[in-house]
Amino acid sequence: MKTVLAALVVLAAAVSATDVVLGDNSDGDTMATCRGTRKVKFEVVLPSGQKYVELFVRRNGEQIVAQAVHGSEKKIGKGLSVYSKVVGGFRGGDDIEYRFYSYLPGGERRFTPGKQEMVWLRHSCKGGKVNVRRLSRGRALFTVMLPSGQKYVEVFSRQNGEQNVATEVTASERRVGGGRSIYKLVRGGYKCGDQIEARAYSYLPISAGVFTPGPEEQRW
């Protein structure tokens, strides 16, 4: 049996998530951003003026958070806002799951990401791979966590077995603590059911190149 050692994703309702550029989002987009290995910032994009928004988080299968976050509202334009919460107490290898519950004044109750209540998004702060997650409007988000200050980072991806991405993302660096940064790319043109594979190439100043997941170049 072939062992898959890269980001191999079929677009679905729940896949790995890491970080999103605010302002490029649509209603229902969700984000989880590692702050080092012990803290994670959870965010959701919803129509502005929510009466109530609640975040639920599970760590290694055990629920640790059920907290209202509607007071964190940050408007981002086009009638949308981001609601967020930073949660601590994680370790690098933890299996993290999260979801949101919300409603507008006089509006219907809503679960994010799924129509059903118990649909969870998964997240990990462990490096060593390129994470891929589904966004709305046929977009996919690619993220990779690397030591901060990379001189060059490039993301490669294949869609249904055919390479369609080879893009430098060095300028997208976002430091998350612990000497680590997240580099990211948003790409469109995907359909539900598409198979996506991803890898990255990077190097620090005066340093040899590194393939992620590697160690060889063509490991997806």
Q: Which residues neighbour 46 within 8 Å (Cβ) at sequence distance 6 or greater?
A: 27, 28, 53, 80, 81, 83, 100, 102, 112
How far is the C-alpha of 28 from the C-alpha of 46, rounded, in Å? 6
Q: Which residues neighbour 71 within 8 Å (Cβ) at sequence distance 6 or greater?
A: none
What was the pLDDT predicted at 6?
39
What was the pLDDT predicted at 168?
96
- Surface-to-core class of residue 194, CB atoms within 10 Å of its CB (0-12 exposed, 13-18 middle, 19+ buried): middle
What's the whole-model pTM score?
0.62
Listed residue (14, 9, 17) closest to 182, CA to CA: 17
Question: Model confidence over 121-159: pLDDT tens digits?
Answer: 888 776 677 888 777 778 888 988 888 999 999 999 998
What was the pLDDT predicted at 25?
60
Residues of the chain whose pLDDT is less than 50? 1-23
Q: With helix as H, strand as E and coil as C, how does the chain read? A: CCCCCCEEEECCCCCEECCCCCCCCCCCCEEEEEECCCEEEEEEEEECCCCEEEEEEEECCEEEEEEECHHHCEEEECCEEEEEEEECCCCCCCCEEEEEEEECCCCCCEEECCCCCCCCEEECCCCCCEEEEECCCCCEEEEEEEECCCCEEEEEEEECCEEEEEEECHHHCEEEECCEEEEEEEECCCCCCCEEEEEEEEECCCCCCEEECCCCCCCC
Taking the CB of residue 182, how many other CB atoms lie within 10 A of it? Answer: 21
